[in-house]
Amino acid sequence: MGASALTEAVRAGGGKSSPPDKRQKDVTILDVFGNVATVKAVMNDWIDYMHVAKFDGQWRIVNVLWEMKPKGPRQ
């Protein structure tokens, strides 16, 4: 999925179908060095690994690698 498709999915409300009390949003900063960092975000249905960088004093997502969680028991 490219950046445009991801942006459109979010604008269309992607990820909002889970009831609020069942939503998982666990974010862990794995490493920071200067103006770059690696972040892990665990959500209900997927896990994101993000590279972020500070540009003009603001943190911006540079790259996202994600994987959907398995629906049933893991094999």
pLDDT score for 7? 78
**pLDDT score for 74:** 57
Which CATH number is associated with domain 3-68? 3.10.450.50
pLDDT at 29: 97
Mean pLDDT by 10 residues, the chain (75 residues): 78 78 90 98 92 96 91 64
Distance between CA atoms of 43 and 68, rounded to whole angstroms? 9
Map the chain to HEC letters. CCHHHHHHHHHCCCCCCCCHHHCCEEEEEEEEECCEEEEEEEECCEEEEEEEEEECCEEEEEEEEEEECCCCCCC
Q: What is the pLDDT of residue 8?
A: 85
Domain ranges for the chain, please list them.
3-68
